[in-house]
Structure 1
Amino acid sequence: MRSVALSPETRQSALDAMAADTLDVLVIGGGVVGGGAALDAATRGLSVGLVEARDYASGTSSRSSKLIHGGLRYLEMLDFRLVAEALGERSLLLEKLAPHLVHPVPFLYPLTHRVWERFYAGSGVALYDSMAFLSGRSRGVPHHRHLTRRGARRIMPALKKDALIGALHYYDGQVDDARHTMFLSRTAAAYGAHTASRTRVIGLLREGDRVAGAKVKDLETGREFDIHARHVVNATGVWTDETQSFAGERGQFHVRASKGIHLVVPRDRIRGESGLILRTEKSVLFVIPWGRHWIIGTTDTDWSLSKDHPAASSNDIDYLLHHVNKVLQVPLTREDVQGVYAGLRPLLAGEDEATSKLSREHAVSTSVKGLTVIAGGKYTTYRIMAKDAIDAAVHGMSSQLDRNVPECCTEDVPLLGADGYEAVWNQRQMLAESSGLHVGRIEHLLHRYGSLIVELLDLIEAQPDLGKGLTGADDYLRAEIVYAASPEGARHLDDA
């Protein structure tokens, strides 16, 4: 598959194409579900447009816990279907769709009760592994194992001796969420979708009782124009209700915003080689290895202020520090926190439910002709959400099409950078020698670009200075900034 750049020139061509012709499908929202929907529609042979008001993944999709997982806590809720579905998607991403962006990550589950907890929690983790096996896609992560207290503290010396009597050691998936979401849109473009960031929907077009497209504003130039489409998909996450209001009605469900925050602390502040999953009074808390840092999260509280700028409160930070310090020999302080980020989950809701009890299922609605709404769900199951949305769109415009539309095929469509990734990974030492870069640099690039690493290496060969680290952020090369500004569609400093 050809590599397509999300360059300024490509963006302008996409806008011109969307303005000129009637599309089969217009997707509103450049998050993980919107990007997935654009890819799904394009690979069915439909003409597709995707518009995003800010940068791809600028909202919820870049502010997650960076996990691709089934969700152990949903087993306790007896939500077996959701867990099985997510585990199947985890394996697909690890093995086929995005092996360059999704990798196994180990977790310790500390046990604190001698008699019943090892059996209870062990049975849950065993069921978790078994469900992954029964999904038919069992490769990708190692099987779980039981550990004594000594064995657990050998892996995580940071743990207090009296904080556990043993542990379970299991694996899940970890993803670079922002890059994965960007790759979805870029892969959709490679299959013919017209994609444009910084393009805000300011209204919906109507033809009688049908939605027939959208009025948009190019935020780079201020130009307003119409995009005509046989069907529109609202994949705007926590902005679902606002987008739906352009149709003159709220729709069949309401989306509540639940805020989750994460702390970022240096890797040397917690001695260990594994992530942690800890119980709290409301849910669970993760301590997740992330390069030279740990990510600690998350919270789950209602949010009613600006959806563009969710923010952590002092209480949020204290809550996470309090819970993680229960198990650490050397407690973390606010001075250890190098960064904080907050994101909003789009939860399906009634009017007065607590956010921790709201559904993580997704829902699809076509209450207005020509408009499909997809909302709720989990990051891990984005592909299934996208499939369901495009299935509904195809059904809704069947009378307008003069051909049969194929079924979804995205479970067999690797993202850009995935094809040939394993072979290039095996050649990483050779690439290091030929490029003059340290093999650690090559591994870093492979985990961010996959087999597209050759495009970065071409830049460095043409301009050797681009092979140097960034001042103040030497984990990253200068070439990555150049690459972000053209092939990856970054248009402003906060995009990169």
Structure 2
Amino acid sequence: MNNHERPVPAGNFSADSRHETISRMESETLDVLVIGGGITGAGILLDGVTRGMAIGLVEMQDFAAGTSSRSTKLVHGGLRYLKQFEVALVAEVGRERAIVYENAPHVTTPLWMLLPIVENGTYGKFLSRLGLYVYDRLARVKHDERRQILTKEQALDKEPLLRQDILKGAGYYVEYRTDDARLTLEIVKEAVERGALAINYTKVERLLYENGKIVGAQLVELISGQRFSVHAKKVINATGPWVDELRSEDGSKTGKTVHLTKGVHIVISQSRFPLHNPVYFDVPDGRMVFAIPRDGKTYVGTTDTDYTGDVKTPRTTAADRDYLIDAVNYMFPSIRLTAVDVESFWAGVRPLIQEEGKGPSEISRRDEVFVSPSGLITIAGGKLTGYRKMAEKVVSLAAKELFEETGDNFGPCQTEHIALSGGKFGGSDKMEHHYLSAQIREGLELGLTRASAEKLARRYGTNIPMLWDILRKAENDSSISANAEAQSELDKEVYASLVYGIKHEMVVTPSDFFIRRTGAMFFDVNWVRLWKEPVIAYMAAVNDWTDEVTERHRKQLDQQLAEATEVVLRE
């Protein structure tokens, strides 16, 4: 019986299951080992397991800790790539938007976006009309989401803050905002629920070879220091900004290499920047920048500069921040934004394929696949929106090689119609009225405020009943819980999401919770400050941390708070 014919037990994605996950990884030869737990690796994991592969994934940080939690948080068709004549790229990722939305509508939201047409801008009226027309056709945009061209007066009616003296009109079209980290997480969770193996904070120490061919990796689990080996018929390098490091380890860093660029976003309260619609606008240096409202904030980005610093901890410089402030004040002059108005920011590193003679903004966002003489498969470049097609390309390659080498036939990609964890509404049209309203009522009955109940229901989608069960159990068991004192310091919203994160989303550190499970580090930094100590105390109690370990986690969180709120003069 082939691997893909075996019944695969559904995985456990609890922080408590790490030893079990390691034991399973050690005990069998996988069909595929994926190195890298960003959106690309997550997509590969889900694609592989749904084809019947025995597949596992390791991530040296937390899932989505790198580029995949630091994007512009748009599942978009890349209108600007038409300007670079990247027609096929626009067509592919444009069509993928609707698939990502239908598969995970709780973490993806369609929004009407303004494209101001300004004097001497990137798009005049003719090019805007033509570009958006072509965009609609290439991306197969739904009829009710097709572009409109607005007059100056109509554009100002939609967004009164726009600069009037150079405004000629605006394109008006639909893009999709997402929570990039949670999208990545829901993909991993769905894969694990289907039998895949995944673990964070587990680093490759060295690759393993037999007769010159790669057969796995020796790993170290960074929380306990446990070392173990995983053997696999195929190894896929999906490490984003680190792909060339692994290629160097493999002795195959030749030909094309990765070019790193840095993108920074700033976050401002809507009370200071009350934007009504997302806006994609020109800035004086010829680039274009997004301003996007979200959860009482407006975020603006991105910069695009060459980067050679520490990939793990890219920082926002004063120059990065000021560039975006100047961009806002250019297109929205009545705002008069200053550095004091910026509440938080994030910096991310993009791994692009090197192209000689091109500046950071000109380099293609296309993905490429490299296969080394040892058999290491590397996927580099690409966009968040295209994660599913990138995964299909790589997994199909691995499946073809496996068929040739072993005779196992794993079939075609199946992910187009697979609802992700939390997205099982039976279609996006059933989410709002048929599901969320009922769940919000249930949250109210459990004592949450309407704002908290709605926030949780939208964040967790069809997994929200599990959080309500956590609250019901807490009401019954808190008096006898060994962690009752630490639990009592948390309000219901924080408690439910934290316990769910630990039990079902492999939250290992407070940073996992505050940055990637809730997004609060970027969009509600005061909430992080308010709940920092109670969350640390609860996690210390349930994990039986020593004072030394607790203090280490506290220092890490404090450092990340500083990175999210304090600029540096230089990298």
Question: Per-residue displacement from partner, 1:107-156 (whole Å, max 9, x unpaired)?
Answer: 111122499921221221122122222xxx737x7222222323222222
* Match in the other structure for 2:418: 413
How many residue pairs align between the two structures?
488
TM-score by length of 1: 0.92
List aligned pairs for 1:231-246, cutoff 5 A: 231-246=234-249
1:366 equivalent to 2:383? Answer: no
Moved more, 269-278 or 31-40: 269-278
Give SS of 1:34's match.
helix
Please, which of 456, 462, 482 is the counterpart of residue 445 of structure 1? 456
Change over 3 Å in CA distance of 1:55–1:274 after alignment to 2: same
* Match in the other structure for 1:247: 250
1:109 equivalent to 2:112? Answer: no
Give SS of 1:355's match.
coil
1:296 equivalent to 2:300? Answer: yes
Separation of aligned partners in 2, 1:223 and 1:370: 27
CA contact (8 A) 2:112 2:278 kept: yes
Please, which of 305, 330, 335 is the counterpart of residue 335 of structure 2? 330
Separation of aligned partners in 1, 2:30 and 2:212: 19
* Match in the other structure for 1:478: 495
* Match in the other structure for 2:266: 263
Give the structure with the higher percent strand.
1
* Match in the other structure for 2:540: none
- Amino acid of the residue matched to residue 98 of structure 1? A
List aligned pairs for 1:333-344, cutoff 5 A: 333-344=338-349
- Amino acid of the residue matched to residue 190 of structure 2? T
List aligned pairs for 1:70-469, cutoff 5 A: 70-95=77-102, 97-113=103-119, 117-133=124-140, 138=142, 142-280=145-283, 281-328=285-332, 329-350=334-355, 353-420=358-425, 422=428, 423=430, 425=432, 426-436=434-444, 437-463=448-474
Give SS of 1:268's match.
coil
Deviation of residue 342 (structure 1)?
Answer: 0.2
- Amino acid of the residue matched to residue 64 of structure 1? S
TM-score by length of 2: 0.81
* Match in the other structure for 2:536: none
Give SS of 2:224's match.
coil
Separation of aligned partners in 2, 1:310 and 1:359: 22
Separation of aligned partners in 2, 1:475 and 1:109: 41
Moved more, 168-177 or 414-423: 414-423
* Match in the other structure for 2:60: 53
Kindly, what percent of the aligned residue pairs are identical? 35
Which consecutive unaligned segments of at least 5 residues does structure 2 have? 1-7, 479-486, 514-571
Which consecutive unaligned segments of at least 5 residues does structure 1 have? none
Change over 3 Å in CA distance of 1:4–1:270 after alignment to 2: farther
Change over 3 Å in CA distance of 1:168–1:354 after alignment to 2: closer
Give SS of 2:232's match.
strand
Question: Per-residue displacement from partner, 1:30-71 (whole Å, max 9, x unpaired)?
Answer: 000001001111111010010000100000000000001111
Separation of aligned partners in 2, 1:149 and 1:463: 56
Query: RMSD value over aligned CA atoms?
Result: 2.6
CA contact (8 A) 2:77 2:94 kept: yes
CA contact (8 A) 2:114 2:278 kept: yes
Separation of aligned partners in 1, 2:475 and 2:150: 49
CA contact (8 A) 1:370 1:396 kept: no
Give SS of 2:314's match.
coil
Separation of aligned partners in 2, 1:25 and 1:100: 30
Separation of aligned partners in 2, 1:4 and 1:279: 47
Question: Per-residue displacement from partner, 1:366-412 (whole Å, max 9, x unpaired)?
Answer: 12233100000111101111111112222333344242121111112
Separation of aligned partners in 1, 2:35 and 2:465: 32
- Amino acid of the residue matched to residue 435 of structure 1? G
Moved more, 118-127 or 77-86: 118-127
CA contact (8 A) 2:275 2:293 kept: no
Moved more, 355-364 or 456-465: 456-465
